[in-house]
Amino acid sequence: MNVMELFETMEYGPAPEAANTVQAWLKEHERFGLFIENQWVEPASGQYMESTNPANGKALVQVASASSADVDVAVAAARKAFKAWSKTPDHVRARYMYALARQIQKHARFLSVLESLDNGKSIRETRDIDIPLVARHFYYHAGWAQLMGRELPGYEPVGVVGQIIPWNFPLLMLAWKIAPAIAMGNTVVLKPARYTPLTALKFAEIVQEAGLPAGVINIVTGEASQVGDALVKHPDVNKIAFTGSTEVGRSIRRSTAGSGKKLSLELGGKSPFIVFDDADLDSVVEGVVDAIWFNQGQVCCAGSRLLVQENVAERLLNKLRARMEKLRVGDPLDKGIDIGAIVSPSQLQEIECLVAQGEAEGAEKWQPSWACPSEGSFFPPTLFTNVSPASSIVQVEIFGPVLVAMTFRTPAEAVQLANNTRYGLAASIWSDNINLALDIAPKIQAGSIWINCTNVFDASSGFGGYRESGYGREGGKEGLYEYVHPSWETSQIPEKSQRTRPQGVGENEEVANTSEEAEFALPAIDRTPKLFIGGKQVRPDSGYSLGVKGADGKPLGEVGEGNRKDVRNAVEAAHAASKWASATPHNRAQILYYIAENLAVREGEFARRIMQQTGRGRKEALQEVHATLSRLFSYAAWTDKFEGVIHRPPMRGVTLAMHEPIGVMGVVAPDEYPLLGFISLVAPTIAMGNTVVAIPSPTAPLSATDCYQIFETSDLPAGVVNIVTGEREGLAKVLAEHEDVDALWYFGSARGAKMVEESSASNMKRTWVNYGRQRDWLDPIQGEGEEFLRASVQVKNIWVPYGE
C-alpha cells in the first residue's frame, strides 16, 4: 500500500479543544445573578434556569430568571448612568471601547470554548470567525466614538437602549448592538437569548475588568415573555434593537407603536444562492458549505435557496452530494468537525417537522449515508430537489442545515426566483463574469449581496434587511444613526406656535390682509375636484369632495375625498413608474431643478394660496415659497452626491455600500407650512429614486394640489408622484396596511403615529413618524438634509473579493 492509498483510507482522529478552564469557571460560579450597575444581583423572584450543552443535553450552570421588577431596576440604573455617560468626552468613550476590545482579545480562547459549549457551534467557527469579529466591532466603534463630535455634528445619543439578541451568534450579536450604542453615548440594558446567556455573562465580567462606569451596560437574563416583553414596553427605554424572528419583530413593532421609541429590527431570511453557468463549480461547492452549513444553518442570512443555471445543475448537484458525504457532524469542541449541534431539542424538532413537510409536498430529500451522533441535538446536512417556488421549504425559514435547489435558464428568471420571497436579508451571486454579477446584484431585493463569496461580515459594513427581514442597519456609519437623534429634538417647538399664527406675529395680534393681498380673489369653487394619480388628474372613486376653508373661515375651494381604492390606484401607478429608480442621478437632479424653475415663475400665486389658507401675511408666505425653492435646489444638489461608500474590510477585496431607493413610499404631510412641508417630504424621496403616494395636509391641501401643473410641465414621469387628498388618518391607515407600500412617513398626531407604526407591522414596512411633535420646516437643520435622505434609501453591501 502506497502513501496515497494510506492517505485516502485514513480515518479522522479526534482533535478536541480543552475545556478545563471554562469548566472550572462555570463550577466556581455555580449560578449567575443579573448584571446591574456593575454588580451581580439576585433576581427579585429568586428563580433560576438551566443553561445546557446542546451537544450532550447536560446542564452547564444556572442563570437568573429575571422578572419585570428586575428590568425596572436595570433600566433605572441605565437611566442614572446616561446623564454622565452621554456627556463623556468622545476620547474618553473611545478609550473605554478600546479597553473592551483588548480584554476580549485577551479572553479570546476562553470565549471561543464557552460559546461552543453553550451554543453548540464548531470551535473552528467561534475561534476563527465569531470572537475575532467581536473584538473588531469594539475596535471599529472606538474609532467612531473618537470621531462622533466631528463626523456626526448636531446629533446626540437617544438615551436608554433595550437590546434583545438571538441564540445563533450570542457574543457577536452582543457586540453588534452594544458597541455602536455605547460608542454614541447611550446606556444599555441587554437581554441575551434564553438558550445562550453564558458569553454575555462573561462579557459582564470583562466590563468590570475594563472599569466601564456603573450602569452603562446592564445584562438581564430570563425568558422572553418576562424580560423581553418588559423591555419593549418599558416607558423609560428610548430605543429597542431586536434580532430574531419576523413574527416576534412584528409583535414588537405593534407594541412600540406610538411610544416614540426608536426601533431597529433584524429579522428572518430565506436568502438565494445564485449560480451562473460560467462559475467555478468547485468554488461554488465550498461556498454552499459556508452558506448553509455554517453554524448548522442557524443563520438568518443563510443561503438556503440554491438557484442554479439549468445547464450546469446536474454537475453541481453531483459535486455537492460528494462534498456533503465528507462533511463531519459531531462534538463542537472537536477542531475537525464541520457541523456542530442544533441549539436545543425544540429547534431540532422544528427542523424535523419542516423537513417532513417538504417530503410530504413531493420534494426529493438527499442526506449523506453516515449517521449523526445519537446523543445531543444533531441534524445532518440535507439537500432537497424537485421543489416548486411555492413549496413550504422554499418559502419558510427552516433555520437549520437544509438546502433547497431549483434551476433557472436566464438571468431574468434567476432574479425573479431570487425575489420570490417575503424576506430580503442577503444573497450570493456566483459568476466569473463580474459584469453579469454587478448587473444582477442591484436587482436582488436584499440588504447584503455577496459576489463569489458568502456570509462575509465586518464592522465597517452595514448589515440589515429589506421587506420582512426588518429595517435599520448594524455596522458601518449607517449603523450609528440607529443610536442617535438630531439634537434639536430635545427642545421641541411649542405645539401651537405655527398652527395658530405666523412667525413674527404676537399671540394677541391678528393678521390683517393688505389691499395687495385682498386683490387675489379665488375663482369659484371647482365643481370637479380631482386627485393626481399616474400623472393625470382623476376623479376620486368616492365621488365626494371635501370643502377647504381659509384662515377667515370662508370657503376656499374643494378637493377630492380619496378612499381605499384611490390609494390602491396610486400605489399601482407608483409601481408602474419603477423605472424612475434606474434614471441617472443627473437626470433626477435636472427634473428637480426644473420643478423649482416652474414654481419660481408662479411664486406670487403660491404665496397667495398660502396666505388664504393660513392667514399669514405676504412676507411670511413668500418666505415659505422661497424656502421651498431652496429645498428643491438642495435635493437636486444631493441627488448625485448622496452616494454610497466603499469599505475596505480586512480582506482582499472591497465592499460597495450602495444607496438604493426603498421603492414605493407613502408620505403624510404636516399641517404647518402646507407647501414647504409637502415638498420637504416629496423632494428627498424622489431625489433618491423612489416613487411616492402623498397625502397633503387636510386643513390646507390646496398648496399641494396646485403642484399638479408644476409636476406635469417639469418632465416628471407619470406615476413618480401621486397625490390623494382626504382625511389624513383614514388614508394613512390604508397606506400603512398596504402590502405593496415599502415605507411610510407620517407627520401628524401622536395618535396617528401610533396607528401607523402598529398597522405597518403587516409587511414590516419602514416607518418614520413624528409622534405629534412639530418641526420648524423653515429651519434647514430640522427640515432638510441627510436625515431625510437616509430615510429615503436602504443600504446594500456588495462584497467583491479580488486577488489571485
CB 274 within 8 A of CB 414: yes
Torsions phi, psi for 442 (to 5 deg): -70, -15
Cα end-to-end distance, the chain, whole Å: 37
Residue with cell 472550572: 24
Q: Which helix (H) or strand (E) holds 624?
A: helix 618-639
Given the residues 115, 156, 300, 784, the one annotated as active site = 300
Using DSSP, state whether 384 is helix, strand or coil. Answer: strand
Separation CA 797–CA 733 (nearest Å): 32
Separation CA 466–CA 266 (nearest Å): 9
Instruction: Annotate 186-246 with DSSP letters as a single string.
Output: -EEEEE--SS--HHHHHHHHHHHHHTPPTTSEEE--S-IIIIIHHHHH-TT--EEEEES-H
**What cell does 88 get?**
463623556
Separation CA 569–CA 719 (nearest Å): 10
* HSE, side-chain direction, 13 A CA sphere, residue 537: 14
Separation CA 237–CA 430 (nearest Å): 43
**300 counts as catalytic:** yes
With b for 16 or more beta-carbon neighbours within 10 A and e for fewer, the 480-491 pattern comes to bbbbbbeebeee
Given the residues 37, 115, 156, 266, the one annotated as active site = 266
**What cell does 611 get?**
396666505
Residue with cell 476562553: 110
Q: Which helix (H) or strand (E) holds 557?
A: strand 555-560
Dihedral of CA atoms 776, 779, 785, 787 in degrees, nearest 10, equals -30
CB 549 within 8 A of CB 556: yes
Residue with cell 434564553: 194
* Bridge partners for 709 per DSSP: none
Distances (CA, A) of 360 to 305, 346, 353, 563, 643: 19, 21, 10, 44, 48
Separation CA 761–CA 273 (nearest Å): 28
Indicate the angle between helix axes 674-687 and 585-601, nearest 10 degrees: 160
Instruction: Annotate 641-708 with DSSP letters as a single string.
Output: TS--EEE--SSSEEEEEEEEE-SEEEEE--SSSHHHHHHHHHHHHHHTT-EEEEE--SSSTHHHHTHH
* 55 alpha carbon, distance to own chain's centre: 33
**266 counts as catalytic:** yes
Among 155, 188, 156, 190, which Cα is nearest to 173's? Answer: 190
**What cell does 613 get?**
389658507
One-letter amino acid for residue 521 of the chain = A
Indicate the angle between helix axes 131-151 and 90-106, nearest 10 degrees: 170
Residue with cell 485514513: 10
One-letter amino acid for residue 588 of the chain = R
Separation CA 431–CA 190 (nearest Å): 41
CB 51 within 8 A of CB 60: yes
Instruction: Annotate 391-444 with DSSP letters as a single string.
Output: SHHHHS---SSEEEEEEESSHHHHHHHHT-SS--SEEEEE-S-HHHHHHHGGGS
Distances (CA, A) of 42 to 47, 66, 73, 195, 214: 9, 9, 12, 20, 17
Separation CA 687–CA 586 (nearest Å): 10
**What cell does 754 get?**
401610533
**What cell does 129 get?**
470567525
Residue with cell 431570511: 269
Active site residues: 266, 300
